[in-house]
Structure 1
Amino acid sequence: ETPWCSPIKVKHGYANCRTPQGEYYKNVLGTRCDIRCQKGYELHGPQQLICQSSKRWSGKVLCKQKRCPTLSMPTNGGFKCVDGAYFGSRCEYYCSPGYQLKGDRIVTCMDNKVWSGRPASCVDTEPPRIQCPSVKEKTAEPNKLTARVFWDTPEGRDTADGILTDVILKGLPPGSHFPEGDHKIQYTVYDRAENKGTCKFLVKVRVRRCVKLNAPDNGYIKCSGDGNNYGATCEFSCIGGYELQGSPARVCQYNLGWSGVEPTCAPMNINVNVRTAAALLDQFYEKRRLLIISTPTAANFFYRMQLGMLQPAQCGLDLRHVTVVELVGVFPAQIGRIGVKLLPPSLALQLRLLLRIPHYNFNIVVMDKHGMDKERYPFPATPAELFALIDNFPLRKEEMKLQAEIGQSCP
């Protein structure tokens, strides 16, 4: 029963020994010891030792701490461990700014030499940042219905690697001419992980506007632009037989009021008591066309025939702003007539002399609104002939367009 081998000491483990005959000492000759390691340690050497006659145990044993495989470093991140890769060690993953952790943040080296939890990775889930300008407000300039608006293109910033793949604009680009109203502008930016960042702002274009003007009774209105935008000009004219009183043109001003005074169309009043034929013709300048019918006698066949043709065509004459002037008889027994107004004999004579109209023959003279002698006829002219001639005058084209717009025509 004498101790034979040295007592067994297993660091981080223990020995379970059995003696041959149940002796007290567990290191007598022939003693067999089963070696076990603590949790987290693994045995290096034989699982059983025998106390030999040489006073030595049959082998050497060592309980070594278990070790997990080295963790792989996540891209755009890293980890910190309490005790390396040994059993029980806790490792905590972290990610670079702009990246988020996917998987378990903390892993532990377990007894089976495997790390707990899922392997971690760092992913870019944060959208890039982009800041748009504030609302852009612009008022259209005079005579314009659009405004040109500029801004600095916003730059996106990625919180992860700083690299952006695309910036997409939805809406008109800076420097464009924007029509009146609100326009939504949107910028979208993508990073390499296809995360999306957006920003929006409004472009507000205003057109200063006056109250809409209407055509005067028995007249026309023609406006530039939109008809009532700042800087727009409205021009007024009257139908045949009427003359304009007030402003012939008005402009929409910055204060949203119209320049000038409101125009009206008053029946034309011809003054026959003027001293010269030129003064009489001046009253029709730019207002009326003249159809001057000259005859040596009231009984002249051509004269009677001409009046007969013109009577049913009065609407067509009015539509074309034509005033009929009759010069009847020869000096000293001659008279002139405009509608129901009689011209003094001296004025009728002056008119024939001024326009070089023969006294002893039937004659028709057609004059335009500028007092130009456009055509002469030595015999009666049909209304169709006269109207075809007048409808080709330059000013007449614009009149026809205005009359068509307001539906003015003859039956």
Structure 2
Amino acid sequence: MLQDMAIEVIHDGGNLATEQRYRHTVGQEAEKLACELSNQGKYKAAEQLFRQTLEIRQSALGSEDPDTLTSMDYLASILYAQNRYKAAEQLYRQVLELRQKALGFEHPNTLASIRGLACVFMGQGRYRAAEKMHRETLKLRQKVLPAKHPNILESISDLASVLERQGRYETAEQVQRHTLQLMQKALGLEHPDTLLSMGSLASVLDNQGKYIEAEKIKRQTLQLMQKVLGPEHPNTLWSMGSLASVLGNKGKYIEAEKIQRQTLQLTQKVLGPKHPSTLASMGNLASVLDNQGKYIEAEMIQRQTLQLTQKVLGPEHPSTLWSMGNLASSLDNQGKYIEGEKIQRQTLQLRQKVLGLEHPDTLASMGNLAAVLRNQGKIDEAVDMALDGLEELFLGEVSMYDAPLIS
């Protein structure tokens, strides 16, 4: 088809209308292929094609044409998929501004741009801003789209995920169960979005200590992702790491370590050594090694993970703070209390600033700091820290309120 169009351009003596039609068709075909590559998790190849498509459309149609904005949105999404948050945020903001101007504030494409920007915020650890935008997107999608539209289900799932990141597990679980039920009915049991919803529900259960159900769902999710997406798709690798995590939480350390090593090897191959998912795999492997008393290897990996996470995501990103806390705990387990206490204090201070006083990770830091103080014989300070943690936990349970999510 494209070859026939090219011949027509040559025979037509370079007629402008024919050439523009050819370039537009090339753009469409390249975009279809790029979307297919993206769905397969081949993000670098997809990005290259999305950039070419955007260049073609900007030249042929102008910077504000709806098709050009679609190409910009696709490029932003593939940058986000590779965790290149700054570039993705800049592009999403540009697309959002142009779509609001050209299409209006409630057009589905405009709402898709708001949703994309909210996802970037979540990846950056800006959870409150992400929640606000996800709620706004959900409200408007419920207004302009039919009930149970896939985009509405997507927004509900997004909102549940950001609630989970903030430690609001009970509400997140309720919403994820509802979303999964709707997705299974609307999209089918093996649709990639349904599988992501399954995995997200299992993660919420894992975070609440509901390990038996979490493990069951995670095994089902991994099996289906391997079948539907393939063994090296990024979502499959996420599912592998998630299963290993719950196995570690249940004390099944040998199986957990085996899967974590496989996951790390594959994420390094598929996503690269500095991708956030690779760094998470490194941290998870170190944790399961630490739990088995393999302290030397665990500490070495934890230090590497922290150094890379600070560089890639920044010193105050929640994932960086998670790495700091894990390193401090590993040091504490080895009796390296002075350095462990120092890092625990830094972690607690940053979590209080970034996540808030009532977040489960902040409360965990208070408990971990109390433990390292106790191990050094600083009993009075340890007791005070533990009591402060209990007080924050009680206040959090009393004051926590979530606005209704599902109408």
Instruction: Report the TM-score when normalising by structure 1.
Output: 0.20
Choose 1 or 2 for highest CA Rg.
1
Of Structure 1 and Structure 2, the greater strand share is in 1
Of Structure 1 and Structure 2, the greater helix share is in 2
